[in-house]
Amino acid sequence: MNVDATVQGGFGKAGIGGVLRYHNGLCLMCFSKSIGVADPPGAELMAILEACRLFQSSRWYCQDKLLIESDCKLVVSWIANQRVIPSHLENLVANCKAYCESCSWKVGFVYREINVDAHALAQEGIERNPAFFGLRRTFRLTRSDENCLMLARYQIIQYVVK
């Protein structure tokens, strides 16, 4: 699952988004939501935590392992125990680690150019109320698609989370 967060300024209104794909590129689900006010690393951690929660409640939970990909090297390193974590983010990091360790999931770094769909969903999430959650029918989404949001509006069974 690719995840991303967008924050207005260094600390401001924030949105998160994510896209779950099967190993062959088939897009299975996506999400986009506002998280209120946050700093960039905190918002990225919230995107990872949301991905964990959604995957755990999905039909794929018992069938597949999860690889969460983020374009924030700093956050990925915190989850891998390689860096000192700021005290105000320790609980979020601990929650992400707990999900991943209990389920043998992994969090890895991915370059921003590969994360464009999740980034677009996060940008739209800043102003989104209520949150958006979508499940795809059998449809192949390639990483070169420029506008996952347009595809989401027309080719996803939409569920609005209240």
Q: Please, what are the averages of pLDDT over each run of 10 residues along the chain (162 residues)? A: 95 95 83 96 97 89 86 95 88 94 92 92 92 65 42 40 40
Phi, psi at 157, each rounded to 5°: -75, 115
CA separation for the pair 66, 60 (Å, rounded):
9
Q: What is the pLDDT of residue 129?
A: 86
Q: What is the pLDDT of residue 62?
A: 76
Cβ–Cβ under 8 Å, residues 113 and 146:
no
Q: What is the pLDDT of residue 153?
A: 39
- With CA atoms as reference, report the closest residue to 79 among 48, 33, 123, 124: 48
Cβ–Cβ under 8 Å, residues 27 and 140:
yes
Q: What is the pLDDT of residue 136?
A: 61
Exposure string over 34-65, b if 16+ CB within 10 A, otherwise e: bbeebbbbbbbbbbbbbbbebbeebeeeeeee
Q: What is the pLDDT of residue 8?
A: 95
* DSSP character string of 31-76: EEEEEEEE-HHHHHHHHHHHHHHHHHTSTTTTT---EEEES-HHHH
Local structure of 142: helix, strand or coil: coil
Please name the residues in contact with 116: beta carbons below 8 A apart, sequence gap of 6 or more: 143, 146, 148
The structural domains of the chain, ordered by start, are 2-161 (3.30.420.10)
**Which single residue is written with the structure tokens 């959650």?**
133
This prediction has a pTM of 0.82
Q: What is the pLDDT of residue 132?
A: 85
Residues paired with 109 in a beta bridge: 70
Residue 36, amino acid: G
